[in-house]
Structure 1
Amino acid sequence: MPDSRYSDLERPPLSETALNRALVRPGSLWTGVTVVESTGSTNADLARAAAGGGAGEGAVLVAEAQLAGRGRLGRSWSAPPRSGLTFSILLRPALPVAAQGWLPLLYGVAAASAVRRLAEVDVRLKWPNDLLIGERKLAGILAERADDAVVIGMGMNVSLRPEELPVETATSLIIEKAACIDRDPLLRAVLREIESHYRDWTAAAGDAEASGLRSAYLAVSATVGRRVRVELPNEQALIGLATGIDRFGHLQVESEGERYTLSAGDVVHVRTAE
């Protein structure tokens, strides 16, 4: 049966029942995990559900295959079925919108921590939303607002082989000889790390410094402390030293004696200039 979800034994399907049993419990942030065979975009699906009142905080949507995946600025993203982790979460933080710029960074810190621990690979974060191993991209993160909710999705390459990579600058856990390439424990670990960081951050009223989020982000940053080329709209570029992340999660760059503070919406791309 070539179309069976069990036809590729190296890429077994995820169990919705097992994930709910492990993650959904009284007092948990996670209120339900849904696994679908395929969809256009998990972010778009959860955003629609949020707008229609059909999804509350803690909803998780996982797709075994995503047909219209998007990154920042509408960049397309795709992968073979069950070769990666493609999922979105829905949050409704009762915090000022200005503080919520930290949410995709919080998600990145959590994902990097989980993967470093289970897969035993040196994952770093490129501002604002990429997980890297060396200079190669392992995962991308996209956060979008849906009324009073925030939907955050991630696509992580797990078992993609070299010939399946969408671009030469990508990588996967199996290519990096990771200690764990089982998607089930990886997904559980990422969601548990997100819950832990999210509770600390909301308890500190969105203060990234007081919650320890800013220091955790800087500890795994692949951007801060390096010379970068920041591509801006209208084909402009800024080259300088990435010196830090401010209290809103914005990137600080020093160039020719001037300090620039950049939000993710200001930037087309950030690359190292070394």
Structure 2
Amino acid sequence: MPTTHTLPDGWYIDYRPSATSSNDLALAALRENCGKAEGKCFQVGEQTKGRGRRGKQWVSKSGDGLYLSIILCPETSRDTWSGLSFMASLAVYKALLTFIEDAHILRCSLKWPNDILYDNRKLAGILLEASAEGVVVGCGINLANAPVLGQTNFPPVALDELVTSQSVDSKALACAVIRRIAELYATWQISGMQVILKEWRSYCDMEGESLRIETVKDVITGTYVDIGSSGELIVRKADGGLVQIHAGDVEVLRGSDASGN
């Protein structure tokens, strides 16, 4: 029977009290090991330059979060690697549910492209960074003292608000995340992305939501329709036309914002 700190064969954690970011350590290890570092994971106590998607700051104080990066070296073509963000967010979501009190579980959901929410508050996020040698899956989970970020569509929430027994053991959570990623990564390799996406959609709570999506080139508003077979967000615009979005920041519009008034 595995313990809470058990990892799959070939997977291990390199812990550092402080670093610029766990992803920086993992990317360096990828380069140094010529793509043969799969299964090596870096956990950092605090990040001095933590970052999220599109270069946004990720507040990373010591003891307040789990900052974990996992190296994967897929043998599939690079154009399939973007699907790993869905695999990773699903894995983190399922790992978190094993720690969260039952009364809170149904209020947890996934948001495109790879955030984990609790009552529309951000509990965790994924940052996928690729190099020629492989992929680094960065996981940031708020454990305690959710940071105050001012006006934001998805204010942070910490895991300690969703458990009533005792503080969460960050190493146990890291191991739970890695075990889930190892499991779903194997599924992704054997069965492909569609199996992952089917389960991912079942935990996504965006149906019928009015959205504002900021992409590199444009700002698009519309209503959520679905997640496509390649992981793209499908939105219906006010004129009835459908648009597919492959990357961007999503804001859920509510009240007067949703009605356009």
Tell me whether the two structures share a fold, i.e. TM-score over 0.5: yes
Contact residue 252 and residue 260 of structure 1 kept, 8 A: yes
How far off is 1:61 after superposition? 0.2
Matches of 1:208 and 1:131, distance apart in 2 = 19
Q: Which residue of 2 aligns with 1:249?
A: 231
Deviations 1:132-185, CA, capped at 9 Å, x for gaps: 111111111100112130001011111225xx4445611101123456622232
Q: Which residue of 2 aligns with 1:233?
A: 216
**1:160 match: secondary structure:** coil
Matches of 2:208 and 2:164, distance apart in 1 = 27
Tell me if 1:106 matches 2:106: no
Q: Which residue of 2 aligns with 1:196?
A: 183
Contact residue 218 and residue 224 of structure 1 kept, 8 A: no
Tell me if 1:126 matches 2:111: yes
* Same amino acid, percent of matched pairs: 27
Query: In structure 2, what residue type is equivalent to 1:176?
Result: L
Matches of 1:88 and 1:243, distance apart in 2 = 32
Tell me if 1:23 matches 2:3: no
Query: In structure 2, what residue type is equivalent to 1:73?
Result: R
**1:82 match: secondary structure:** coil
Deviations 1:86-138, CA, capped at 9 Å, x for gaps: 01000011112222111011100011111112213332111112111111111
Query: Unaligned stretches of 5+ in structure 2?
Result: 255-261
Matches of 2:172 and 2:33, distance apart in 1 = 30
**Counterpart among 110, 114, 125 of residue 140 in structure 1:** 125
Alignment of 1:209-228 (within 5 A): 209=194, 212-228=195-211
Matches of 1:46 and 1:223, distance apart in 2 = 32
Contact residue 68 and residue 138 of structure 2 kept, 8 A: yes
Alignment of 1:1-150 (within 5 A): 22-25=6-9, 28=10, 30=11, 32-53=12-33, 56-120=37-101, 121-122=104-105, 123-150=108-135
How far off is 1:233 after superposition? 3.2
Deviations 1:47-83, CA, capped at 9 Å, x for gaps: 1111121761111000011110011111111232122
Q: Which residue of 2 aligns with 1:187?
A: 174
Aligned length: 242
The alignment's TM-score, normalised by the length of structure 1, stands at 0.81
**1:23 match: secondary structure:** coil
Instruction: Rate the CA distance shift 1:227–1:146 in 2: closer, same or farther, 3 A.
Output: same
Instruction: Rate the CA distance shift 1:39–1:172 in 2: closer, same or farther, 3 A.
Output: same
Q: Which residue of 2 aligns with 1:171?
A: 157
Query: In structure 1, what residue type is equivalent to 2:200?
Result: Y
Instruction: Rate the CA distance shift 1:24–1:194 in 2: closer, same or farther, 3 A.
Output: closer
Deviations 1:191-247, CA, capped at 9 Å, x for gaps: 11111111111012xx222xx21111101113344221112335x421112111122
Matches of 1:178 and 1:130, distance apart in 2 = 23
Q: Which residue of 2 aligns with 1:154?
A: 139
Matches of 2:252 and 2:236, distance apart in 1 = 14
